[in-house]
Structure 1
Amino acid sequence: MSTLAPLIKKLTNGAADGTGIVKLVGLTQNMLKLKDPHDIPSVLIKMVEGEQQAQFGSYPDHKDIAPSAVFLAIFAVLFLAHTTVFAINYRRGHKFFLSLGFAFYCTLRWLGFALRLTWAKDLLKLHIGITGTVLTILATVFIASFNLVLAQRIFTWRHPVFGNSKLFWTLMYTLYSIVVAVVAMTIVAGTVPYLYFLSRSHYDMCRNVVKVTSILITLYSLLAIILVVAAYAIPAHQKDKDALVFQPFWIKSFKPTYFVQKGADKECEDQFAAKFANDPREPKRTMLGGSLGKSAELEEFLGSGDAKFSANHNVSILIIATTTILVFVGALMRCIAMFEDKTYATQNNIHKPVVMYVVWGAFETIANILYLVGRVDLRFYRPDSFKRGAIAPVDTVSNEVVEDKDEKSRSMNSSEDV
């Protein structure tokens, strides 16, 4: 066995230790003329495994089967919960597509744990392990992005004019585009060393890219809190208070068991459209004002004045702050692990699976429970858009809709912006 390692080193053209493990398995199998890679001597497998770069969560073994199965089941249940909430809401005309986003994120998590469970049973199923690693990175970025969307709703509520402007949306889309590029770099730099033999310089380059992107992902996970702070730190402009604000005033409660009345959104939208049919201002759609949860009447909503911008959103802010911190801790732990520059044989406690199960399993389970129990689908719901030109004209004296057959034939066009 002592002579086999130098021989493999020679056949790989002096590639850096810890690279090309996928190719190395096939190469070793051919060298030893084995029919099955599982016949490779365990001593050699342990030697090569010890040379691999240490990863956050480490490489699984039989001890990972039970916890992986537990969190697989938990996130599968959370997926069903988010999907159920979306389905009930959708049937009632309440379209909060971010619930599907959370369901998709949960899918990434339970798939990741399912692949880890499979990998734990057979360490040589390298492609499964690599795929699972990619899914864990994607899940972290997705949940941070959804938190940022929630924070964006609070910012737009406080600043309806700028929050609905093309400039603000361009900035947000630019940010999301940068994040997509960062994730792509992370995936490429993180998987290439396992798939191909690399020189020491190229191997170090890949590891440095992962370090940089891990810092960016960690900072990105904090942006939700930063945006909420900015929403309150930046004074509301008079234009915001004078704007024609359209909030979902038909939402009566944020209780876990509450769902909006079917058709209430359409009825209230029609009332609002009729009331302001001749108003030259474009409606600025925002989430519900913090103190308006019990109002279902248009006149109450319009008479609330500055209450539409009140600071009574403590629970909503607490949800964003708590979930952001939980996600941030996981991203930070992974970032620290990447900077340790350890191998599997010399890894520290931060690389141990238990740390990963706590931050990516337990912490994110708590975050999802907060999303569901806190009813983010109600608190952060923004009304669907509608075309001003499709609204019937209104008599400005009587405020009654002028009946017009052509106007009646037009329909409201609604679609929610994420």
Structure 2
Amino acid sequence: MSQSTAEILASRPALFGDYPVTKDDIAGCVVCIVCFAVLAVINMTILRRNLARGHKFIPSGAMFGLCMARIVTFSMRLASAIHPTNLNVSIAASIFIAAGVVILFVLNVLFSQRLFTAQHPSRAYVGSAFYNIMKLFYISIIAFLIVLVVTSGVYYHTNATVMQGIAQFRKVAMVYFTVTAFMPTLIVAAAYAIPRSEQDRTWPVHYAHWIDSYSGLYFPDPRKLPSAVEFYAEIPEGETRIPVQVIPPPDRGTRKVSIFLVLFASVILTFGTAVRTAATFGHAAEIQKPWYDYRVTMYMCIALVELMVEISWIIGRVDLRFYIPNNDKSWKKLATAQGTEKLPHMDVDEEAEVDTPRQLSGERKSF
């Protein structure tokens, strides 16, 4: 190794998970790539089979996206181990490590929101204070993600003042993501700690009552999907309150499993993020390399944690347990194919998308 290369490697700052080396990282990266590739195939299979049955569950696509991001992440780390002085590859690997897990944060918060909405539809309908607060929360996650991604590529900046400022931004972002990882636990706790009101019990709701099972090989039968007329006819005549799309109620399958899936993901995501946050705060104070800067910590807090969450969600069939009938285009297409009846109180063009009229029951959206 030349003197200049040795100086470059020696001058590198501390990094969570340490810098990749050929000896230790090839096997770990290959195993992670294979595991995430298998999960990517499973998630895409579930997504496509559901879409073919008019069951559109976008989180399955997001789970597939995480797997693809992690395949790129560990491919970049593998390339960085082979070419340790290539700063561009190292920066790319750092960016993907920082950005990927946020997908799971958002999905878990979304699932907890749907649990809260199912318990308290009168407090969580579209346009309610809770709904708007959650929208702002998702926007804030995107903002902090941008901060984290931008600051992930500046490990080699030579300006000390700039580095100090960036370090502060990263600390704030990581603390926020730790809170985000734990947020589903608080939302679920609030959902069941707050007593259900009479309005919650009588509020008009819609759920996918045609889902018959949550088993691993089950997929909704498109022949059981209600027609557009049947679906909208569930709204009582004269109802002025905004109907809420909710996940299936407890009598359609144990709600305890749904709660467990959210809390399990929240706990282990919080643990993994807390360790990464500790690494962000510890670099400036530690003289010797701390325990969280070893590569085994990185593989556990990123790869293992995310694999555990994805596997639990696939086995637990979140695509069925957290599905809400959002009247997406695929559902409308199948509903139209079952009959060309006009929706009640509406004039509908057969080839036009079925809009949800306010005069029928108010705005019908889902999050």
Identify the TM-score tier after normalising by the shorter chain.
Answer: 0.7 to 0.9
Task: Work out whether residues 44 and 60 of structure 2, in 8 Å CA contact, stay in contact via their aligned partners in 1.
Answer: yes
| Separation in 2, partners of 1:352, 1:326 | 19
Task: Work out whether residues 348 and 354 of structure 2, in 8 Å CA contact, stay in contact via their aligned partners in 1.
Answer: no
Matching residue's letter, 1:120 = A
Change (3 A) 1:230 1:262: same
Task: Work out whether residues 53 and 344 of structure 1, in 8 Å CA contact, stay in contact via their aligned partners in 2.
Answer: no
| Separation in 1, partners of 2:277, 2:235 | 52
1:276 to 2:238 alignment: no
1:51 to 2:11 alignment: yes
**Aligned residue number for residue 391 of structure 1:** 343
Q: CA deviation at 1:96?
A: 0.6
Identify which of 81, 84, 101 aligns with 2:45: 84
SS in 2 for 1:142: helix
1:161 to 2:113 alignment: no
Q: CA deviation at 1:369?
A: 0.9
Identity %: 26
Deviation sequence 1:363-411 (CA, Å, 0-9, x none): 2112111111100000000012499xx6325xxxxxxxxxx9x669586
Change (3 A) 1:153 1:363: same
**Aligned residue number for residue 174 of structure 1:** 136
Q: CA deviation at 1:46?
A: 3.1
| Separation in 1, partners of 2:287, 2:139 | 37
| Separation in 1, partners of 2:251, 2:6 | 62
Task: Work out whether residues 116 and 187 of structure 2, in 8 Å CA contact, stay in contact via their aligned partners in 1.
Answer: yes
| Separation in 1, partners of 2:268, 2:93 | 21
SS in 2 for 1:60: coil
| Separation in 1, partners of 2:271, 2:176 | 14
Matching residue's letter, 1:276 = I
TM-score, normalised to structure 2's length? Answer: 0.86
Change (3 A) 1:107 1:344: farther
**Aligned residue number for residue 197 of structure 2:** 237
| Separation in 2, partners of 1:408, 1:241 | 36
Q: CA deviation at 1:169?
A: 2.7
Change (3 A) 1:216 1:274: closer
Q: CA deviation at 1:193?
A: 4.0
**Aligned residue number for residue 259 of structure 1:** 219
Task: Work out whether residues 20 and 77 of structure 2, in 8 Å CA contact, stay in contact via their aligned partners in 1.
Answer: yes
Task: Work out whether residues 58 and 344 of structure 1, in 8 Å CA contact, stay in contact via their aligned partners in 2.
Answer: no
Q: CA deviation at 1:413?
A: 4.3
Alignment of 1:405-416 (within 5 A): 412-413=354-355
Deviation sequence 1:241-288 (CA, Å, 0-9, x none): 121111111111111111110142234x54242353624243221010
Task: Work out whether residues 66 and 103 of structure 2, in 8 Å CA contact, stay in contact via their aligned partners in 1.
Answer: yes
Q: CA deviation at 1:321?
A: 0.9
**Aligned residue number for residue 150 of structure 2:** 188
Q: CA deviation at 1:156?
A: 0.8
**Aligned residue number for residue 348 of structure 1:** 290
Alignment of 1:9-408 (within 5 A): 41-62=1-22, 63-166=24-127, 167-194=129-156, 196-198=157-159, 200-267=160-227, 270-276=229-235, 278-281=237-240, 282-293=242-253, 312-341=254-283, 346-385=288-327, 391-392=343-344
Change (3 A) 1:275 1:203: closer
Q: Considering only aligned residues, what root-mean-square deviation do their CA atoms show, in Å?
A: 2.5
Task: Work out whether residues 206 and 244 of structure 2, in 8 Å CA contact, stay in contact via their aligned partners in 1.
Answer: yes
Task: Work out whether residues 51 and 344 of structure 1, in 8 Å CA contact, stay in contact via their aligned partners in 2.
Answer: no
Structure whose CA Rg is larger: 1
| Separation in 1, partners of 2:117, 2:304 | 31
**Aligned residue number for residue 37 of structure 1:** none
Which residues of structure 2 form unaligned runs of 5+?
333-341, 357-363
| Separation in 1, partners of 2:281, 2:41 | 37
SS in 1 for 2:85: coil
Task: Work out whether residues 190 and 207 of structure 1, in 8 Å CA contact, stay in contact via their aligned partners in 2.
Answer: no
SS in 1 for 2:101: helix
| Separation in 1, partners of 2:366, 2:287 | 49
Matching residue's letter, 1:392 = P
Matching residue's letter, 1:243 = W
| Separation in 1, partners of 2:222, 2:41 | 22
Task: Work out whether residues 125 and 243 of structure 2, in 8 Å CA contact, stay in contact via their aligned partners in 1.
Answer: no
Deviation sequence 1:177-233 (CA, Å, 0-9, x none): 212221222222332342x431x2322222122122111111111111111111111
Task: Work out whether residues 9 and 85 of structure 2, in 8 Å CA contact, stay in contact via their aligned partners in 1.
Answer: no
Matching residue's letter, 2:95 = V
Task: Work out whether residues 156 and 286 of structure 1, in 8 Å CA contact, stay in contact via their aligned partners in 2.
Answer: yes
| Separation in 2, partners of 1:107, 1:134 | 14
Q: CA deviation at 1:343?
A: 9.8
Task: Work out whether residues 53 and 342 of structure 1, in 8 Å CA contact, stay in contact via their aligned partners in 2.
Answer: no
**Aligned residue number for residue 32 of structure 1:** none
Paired positions, count: 344
Q: Which moved more, 1:131-140 or 1:407-416?
A: 407-416
